[in-house]
Structure 1
Amino acid sequence: MIKINSARPITQLLDDLPPKRALCAFNVETFPMLRAAFRAASTTQCPVVIAYSQPAAQALGYLQTADLVALVGGHFPEVSYALHLDHCQDPRQVIAAVAEGFTSANLLDDGDLEPGAYLPAAQQLRAAVGTDVSLEFICGKLGHINDAESGPHEPISVGDIIEFASACSPDILGFDHGSIHGMLERTQHLDLDLIRRISDAADLPQVLHGSSGVLPAEIRAGIDAGIRKINIETALRTTYMNTISLAVTGASDTARKPRLLDRELEDVMTGRFADFLTDYTLRKA
């Protein structure tokens, strides 16, 4: 009989993680990626955050998503993991996902809420889900490659961030570190001084969004400064789609048989996940 593993809140994973190390939150949308994430975590003996974007999880169904992750996790009982709802802009969707088994979520202020409504929404969400679920709140806007004004939106002060954290009690704190979502090349630097100052003042784990565009040395320095969770999506999606593109070209068995393509995708993604876990969670880079 398969032992069903249980997702844990991210805060519990962080409690067990030594200082100067960061959890990797892998955005997975397919079964080969999900299997690969657990395989890599098992091989490296690392905890892992299994993340689904809110649209992806809602499309599959929150209950079906949680059940699928629990089923796969049951094959890897040695792996500690959290199930995270990523890039959600509607507090009601967070509550719905949590009711079906998600143990973590972030709430972004990216335009779905009315101006000035984000902080009250975060406060209400904190009260609604209690302390058994890890909530990630973002102070201000985050940059995106598709934005006309990518990068820092407005200067943000330590005082503003601390006041925000005090008002909504996040388990994980996010703000603009200088990263940009959706980048295909690693060119971005981080505001390491701001990260250190917030870490000293707030004593909260920080999350890095848009890590795929940040220089690797900057990410490692950011972990030393206070980043404890790193979201990874664009780099994974690029590897995944490139693997498909190469595999289906020609007349090989992989091109003609989906099960063989899935196997190749899982193998390639396992290696990719393991590299990130080695670099950021084990800090062996």
Structure 2
Amino acid sequence: MPLAATGALLTRAAEARSAIAAFNVITLEHVEAVIAGAEAAGSPVVLQVSENAVKFRQGRLLPLARAAVTAAEQAEVPVALHLDHVRSDTLLREAPHAGFSSVMYDASRLPYPDNLAATATAVDWAHAQGLWIEAELGEVGGKDGRPALDAHAPGARTDPDEARDFVAGTGVDALAVAIGSAHAMTTRTATLDHELLRRLAGVVPVPLVLHGSSGVPDTGLTAAVADGIAKVNVGTALNMAMIGSVRRFLTEHPEAVDPRAPLDLGRQAMAREVTRIIGVLAGGTSRA
């Protein structure tokens, strides 16, 4: 089916008080697994390519983006393409020509006034190109190998009044909020601040996004959706599923040299995790 638009998927999710799952992809196996998992769940999905993934692909956006677009167009469920955690203005300007309908522009590392100014400039350009744009306020720690911020550190949590003013001042279409999760967590021990999330949902007029979701227990994710999160970003959980499966295969078959068998098992493991997470966000039961 035709490539879906992130904004349309997310708007519908927000209106229904549900959430769209967005999975970060690095390889073609990631792309195929996310689509297979979403098809098994019968759910639309967002494929996300981060700036870090582009760096891994030797700075070239188009090879992975073109593969993702082709796979999405052959999918049995709506699939959108999102460019994630973009800091480079050069990369931002590649998005509309590479099949992306949305971008997360990340100036959250900057002081509030600079974040607001940089994001507003990015939004003006993006909207002129027909791109839907997400930004971040507060800091979801753990990115680029940095340790997560202490929960009480300045800027570690999104302030509701600042969030309301930030959205009004920038014109962003969605806002990633810092409420206790962190990127790159390999244990599911993050504790979300649900009271803060409800306050944010009450004053911010655009859909809210949760980053660092791999470290949040299922019950926390389900509650976050109920409290106002409309897009849930997942990356590390897929990588753990893939690497775990590949590691087991190579341990059991040290003589193996053909990469197809372990990569296929890794792809299957990621697809199962995609289906499982989509079920959690829909309020289904799963492992704790």
Q: Give 2:63's aligned amino acid.
A: Q
Structure 1, unmatched stretches of 5+, are none
Question: Does structure 1 conserve the Cα–Cα contact (< 8 Å) formed by 2:3 and 2:73?
Answer: no
Paired-residue identity, %: 26
Q: What residue is the counterpart of 1:188 in the other structure?
A: 190
Q: What residue is the counterpart of 2:140 in the other structure?
A: 142
Distance 1:148 1:165, change over 3 A: closer
Q: What residue is the counterpart of 1:267 in the other structure?
A: 268
Q: What residue is the counterpart of 2:172 in the other structure?
A: 170
Deviations 1:72-114 (A, max 9, x none): 12321x3111111112222332122233221111122354x68
Q: What residue is the counterpart of 1:72 in the other structure?
A: 71
- Which of residues 233, 236, 242 in structure 2 aligns to 1:234? 236
Aligned-pair RMSD on alpha carbons?
Answer: 2.2
Secondary structure of the structure 1 residue equivalent to 2:179: coil
- Which of residues 38, 47, 50 in structure 2 aligns to 1:50? 47
Does 2:245 align with 1:243? Answer: yes
CA distance in 1, matches of 2:188, 2:263: 28
CA distance in 2, matches of 1:148, 1:54: 19
How many residues are treated as equivalent by the alignment? 277
Q: Give 2:217's aligned amino acid.
A: L
Deviations 1:153-192 (A, max 9, x none): 3264321110111111111111211111121111121111
Secondary structure of the structure 2 residue equivalent to 1:143: coil
Secondary structure of the structure 2 residue equivalent to 1:86: strand
Q: What residue is the counterpart of 1:257 in the other structure?
A: 258
Q: Give 2:22's aligned amino acid.
A: A
Does 2:284 align with 1:284? Answer: yes
Per the TM alignment, residue 140 of structure 1 is displaced from its structure 2 partner at its CA by 2.5
Deviations 1:47-79 (A, max 9, x none): 101011113235262222221112112321x31
TM-score of the pair, normalised by structure 1:
0.88
Question: Does structure 1 conserve the Cα–Cα contact (< 8 Å) formed by 2:28 and 2:68?
Answer: no
Q: What residue is the counterpart of 1:130 in the other structure?
A: 127
Distance 1:148 1:208, change over 3 A: closer
Q: What residue is the counterpart of 2:98 in the other structure?
A: 100
Distance 1:259 1:117, change over 3 A: same
Q: Give 1:13's aligned amino acid.
A: L
Secondary structure of the structure 1 residue equivalent to 2:153: coil
Question: Does structure 1 conserve the Cα–Cα contact (< 8 Å) formed by 2:242 and 2:267?
Answer: no
Q: What residue is the counterpart of 1:19 in the other structure?
A: 16
Question: Does structure 1 conserve the Cα–Cα contact (< 8 Å) formed by 2:62 and 2:98?
Answer: yes
Per the TM alignment, residue 215 of structure 1 is displaced from its structure 2 partner at its CA by 2.3
Secondary structure of the structure 2 residue equivalent to 1:135: strand
